[in-house]
């Protein structure tokens, strides 16, 4: 999913749980600077934090890549873990070896416009979350009027 032609890339390395708050703060700031609303930037920060936490707990560390594609007006959150990887996205979200992961990653599935998973050569997984840089919050701008005015 990562394309070297995108611009405004930020790579955050994850080794311990102490890295998750840094991911949250950087994602929030990057989202706001990319043009996300406060609501949508907060949602992006939540998604990145959940992915970062899962990478540390279940994926033996890895990276969160924040990528802003100005040509397609897309904000990407890409999680790269060093774990063994799973055969499918559904397995990632429902694996018994990752008990509790389903509830924490549920936010990612609800809030992202699109979530894609693929195995990485050499092991590990890549989860790519797409967020449109449109003017309203929620997946594809589905937030309520009340949420947009807060």
- Name residues whose C-beta falls within 8 Å of residue 146's C-beta, 6 or more positions apart in sequence: none
Around 75, how many Cα atoms within 13 Å sit in the side-chain half-sphere?
30
Tell whether the model's pLDDT for residue 97 goes beyond 80: no
CB of 79 closer than 8 Å to CB of 62: yes
Higher pLDDT, 84 or 126: 126
By the 10 Å C-beta count (0-12 exposed, 13-18 middle, 19+ buried), 125 is classed as buried
pLDDT band at 109 (very low <50, low <70, confident <90, very high): confident
Higher pLDDT, 98 or 133: 133
Distance CA 45, CA 41 (A): 6
The pLDDT of residue 130: 95
pTM above the 0.85 mark? Answer: no
Domain boundaries defined on the chain: 8-149
Mean pLDDT of the chain: 79
- Name residues whose C-beta falls within 8 Å of residue 130's C-beta, 6 or more positions apart in sequence: 74, 75, 76, 112, 113, 114, 115, 116
- Name residues whose C-beta falls within 8 Å of residue 114's C-beta, 6 or more positions apart in sequence: 129, 130
What one-character DSSP code corresponds to residue 113? Answer: S
φ and ψ at residue 36, rounded to 5 degrees: -70, 150
Architecture of domain 8-149: 2-Layer Sandwich (3.30)
């Amino acid at each position: 999913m990562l394309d070297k032609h995108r611009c405004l890339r930020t790579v955050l390395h994850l080794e311990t749980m102490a890295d998750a708050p840094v991911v949250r703060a950087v994602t929030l700031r990057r989202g706001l600077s990319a043009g996300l609303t406060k609501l949508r930037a907060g949602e992006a920060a939540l998604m990145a934090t959940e992915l970062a936490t899962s990478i540390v707990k279940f994926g033996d560390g890895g990276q969160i890549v924040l990528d802003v594609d100005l040509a397609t007006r897309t904000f990407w959150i890409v999680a790269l873990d060093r774990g063994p990887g799973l055969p499918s996205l559904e397995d990632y979200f429902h694996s018994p070896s990752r008990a509790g992961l389903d509830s924490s990653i549920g936010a990612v599935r609800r809030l992202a416009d699109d979530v894609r998973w693929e195995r990485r050569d050499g092991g590990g997984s890549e989860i790519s979350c797409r967020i449109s840089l449109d003017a309203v919050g929620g997946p594809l701008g589905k937030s309520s009027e009340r949420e947009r005015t807060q």
